[in-house]
Structure 1
Amino acid sequence: MKNKGIYYGLSAYVLWGLITLYWKLVVGVSPLATMCYRILWSFVFMMVFILLSGKRQQFIAELRLLWRNKAYAGLITLASVLISINWFTFIFAVSAGHVMQASLGYYINPLVNVLLATVFLKERLSRSGLIACLLASIGVIMLSIQTGSIPYASLIMAFSFSTYGLIKRRIPISSVTGLTVETGIILPFALVYMFGFSTVAFMDYPLQTNLLLAGAGVVTAIPLLLFAEAAKSISYITLGFIQYINPTIMLLLAVFLFHETYTVAQFSAFAFIWFGIAVFTYGTLGRAIKERRMSVSK
């Protein structure tokens, strides 16, 4: 069961890394329109998935929970806004040729998780966590100095997704219901844009582009569902190790396929971030081994 969970996790993160290629194929569509189509077809796919997978009763029960609990309803509304911001920023970065910035966002995301947990959940920041955050901060500052601008896309992606995850922890519903409701909440706004403000009529693109836009629902949902299955059967430590597959694939694509500029100075800045990740991972693994030994000795 554990090996199966690892395969699910590896599949999810590899797909998330390769999704960069998918959005590169969507040409002639603005980032905002692409995000709106992604929301629409993700909602459609999830509704079909719920019906075909026999999760209809669970979905209805969790909808009733959200309806009865206004706090949960407010939180999932905020979550839908945050994931929309994350999706738009990612699509914008990729379409603008800044895949490396998108990669950076996913590299620093786990460290932002630590920071938010310390601030909002009052979790104690370990020495390794503090050092990791400082090293990552140095790397981001170095990149800002080198490029002459703050890597806003990276920071928006990292903080929006980390805050999204923080909020999701407080809502006791499945990932299937969560994604369906989140896309459903933001869907009316996406439809208003597509039918009222977009300069291109609904799905009035070449056939290949229309197929790619329709497939965005599948591309969005499948990695998330795989990740949800992985999270059920393998430890957070294991997930922590394999989650860096995603930004590493994106970084390799940025340098070797899309030929984005990657100077020695940029490598030095990324090195601080990688070193921070190594410190964070080593500290987390060390605590897990120590706790396991203590539990065995008892």
Structure 2
Amino acid sequence: MQRASSSHEKSALLAGIAAFATWGLVPVYWKLLRSIPAAEILAHRFVWTWVFMVILLSWSRRWPEVLGNVRTPRTVGFCAASGVSIATNWFVFIWAVNASHVLETSLGYFMTPLVSVLLGAVFLRERLTRAQLASVLVAAGAVTYLAADLGHPPWVALALCASFGSYGLFRKISGAGSTAGLFLETTVIVPFALGFLVVLIAKGAGHFGAATPKWSLLLVTTGIVTGVPLLWFAHAARHLRLTTIGFLQYLAPSGTLFLGVLVYHEPFRRPQMVTFALIWVALAIYTADAVVRWRALKGAAVAPAA
């Protein structure tokens, strides 16, 4: 039993690393599609992710779970809201990567855990600890500092962390499972995506078809690029501690930061350095607090058995 559990943990750790590493390096993939407008890429991403989810749900025989969620209007409503949130997030990310704002996307995803804490406090009335409040204030100071240097707020970073934070909030409230929830989200958006693609094809402005096999293959693959890391993440989330997942999530923006600075040579001047340093301080405070509280809860759970 213990050996089986250890095996699950090892595979889950590898799956978690693979998921977050893929998300961190995925700008390389979107750069391959930079000749295609972000809106068209987004539409294809939803269509082919939906196809991927249909195949996955059929293979795993999990349609009853989807039907159970469909019978609950509250779940469907919040999945629709999360679908709009993730559509916004995906569009901003794809556009930003191909507009040479890779570093700002990294900043946005580093900020996401802190935004999630703030949203939980505002909408779910979750109490902020002093450490969490301090981390949010430090992050706010970092954004204010960068905005003062740029002459405007870092809109890409703010849009990404706000949309992904909202996505997490809506998914939490919906109560839908990871696979069924993603299917419902894509189902809400797919009709609009298909309509948009039909209009493009009618105008002769699309990049999908026999005349463009390279683009067609890359666009179809968006479903795999989206779906497979989510499967890895789902496996990791089932078998790893939340604190481990919390540490792993920083791999993604770290990978994106690496790409932005060393591969795409985006400007990384003193203001950006100071901003990232402040965000990392905020995350260190947040993570340390999470570890302390997790250990306290674990100790409280073990105490009665002693």
> Is 1:10 paired with 2:10?
no
> 1:253 is aligned with what amino acid?
L
> Is 1:166 paired with 2:169?
yes
Deviates more, 1:84-93 or 1:145-154: 145-154
Return the offset for 1:150. 0.9
Q: Which aligned segments of 4 or more residues in structure 1 are displaced greater than 4 angstroms?
A: none
> 2:236 is aligned with what amino acid?
A
Q: Give CA-to-partner distance per residue, 1:86-115, whole Å, 9 cap, x none.
A: 100100110101001111111000001111
Return the offset for 1:149. 1.5
Return the offset for 1:159. 1.2
Separation in 2, partners of 1:174, 1:115: 23
Q: Give CA-to-partner distance per residue, 1:152-196, whole Å, 9 cap, x none.
A: 111111111111111112233321221122112101111111111
> Is 1:112 paired with 2:115?
yes
Separation in 1, partners of 2:300, 2:70: 44
Could you list the runs of 5+ residues in structure 2 that have no partner in the other structure? 1-7
Q: Which residue of 2 aligns with 1:88?
A: 91
> 1:212 is aligned with what amino acid?
L
> 1:170 is aligned with what amino acid?
I
Kindly, what percent of the aligned residue pairs are identical? 35
The residue correspondences of 1:237-248 to structure 2 (distance < 5 A) are 237-248=243-254
Separation in 2, partners of 1:134, 1:32: 35
> Is 1:45 paired with 2:48?
no
- Counterpart selection for 2:227 from 221, 237, 260: 221
Q: Which residue of 2 aligns with 1:73?
A: 76
The residue correspondences of 1:237-276 to structure 2 (distance < 5 A) are 237-276=243-282
Deviates more, 1:62-71 or 1:159-168: 62-71
Are 1:105 and 1:155, in contact at CA under 8 Å, matched by a contact in 2? Answer: yes
> Is 1:149 paired with 2:152?
yes
Could you list the runs of 5+ residues in structure 1 that have no partner in the other structure? none
Q: Secondary structure at the match of 1:170?
A: helix
Q: Which residue of 2 aligns with 1:35?
A: 42
Q: Which residue of 2 aligns with 1:97?
A: 100
Separation in 2, partners of 1:63, 1:175: 11
- Counterpart selection for 1:63 from 46, 62, 66: 66
> Is 1:201 paired with 2:228?
no
Separation in 1, partners of 2:70, 2:295: 42
> 1:231 is aligned with what amino acid?
A
Over aligned residue pairs, what C-alpha RMSD do you find? 1.5
- Counterpart selection for 2:288 from 279, 282, 287: 282
Return the offset for 1:22. 0.3
How many corresponding residue pairs?
294
Return the offset for 1:292. 2.4
Separation in 1, partners of 2:66, 2:301: 39
Return the offset for 1:6. 1.5
Q: Secondary structure at the match of 2:100?
A: coil
Q: Secondary structure at the match of 1:169?
A: helix
Return the offset for 1:297. 3.1
Are 1:194 and 1:202, in contact at CA under 8 Å, matched by a contact in 2? Answer: no
> 2:219 is aligned with what amino acid?
L
Return the offset for 1:145. 1.2
Are 1:97 and 1:260, in contact at CA under 8 Å, matched by a contact in 2? Answer: yes
Are 2:76 and 2:184, in contact at CA under 8 Å, matched by a contact in 1? Answer: no
Return the offset for 1:265. 2.0
Separation in 2, partners of 1:12, 1:25: 20
Separation in 1, partners of 2:207, 2:271: 44
> 1:208 is aligned with what amino acid?
K
Q: Give CA-to-partner distance per residue, 1:205-239, whole Å, 9 cap, x none.
A: 63222211110000000111111111111111111
> 1:276 is aligned with what amino acid?
A
Return the offset for 1:202. 5.7
Separation in 2, partners of 1:63, 1:8: 24
- Counterpart selection for 1:123 from 108, 126, 140: 126
Return the offset for 1:197. 4.5
Separation in 1, partners of 2:206, 2:56: 28
Return the offset for 1:241. 0.7
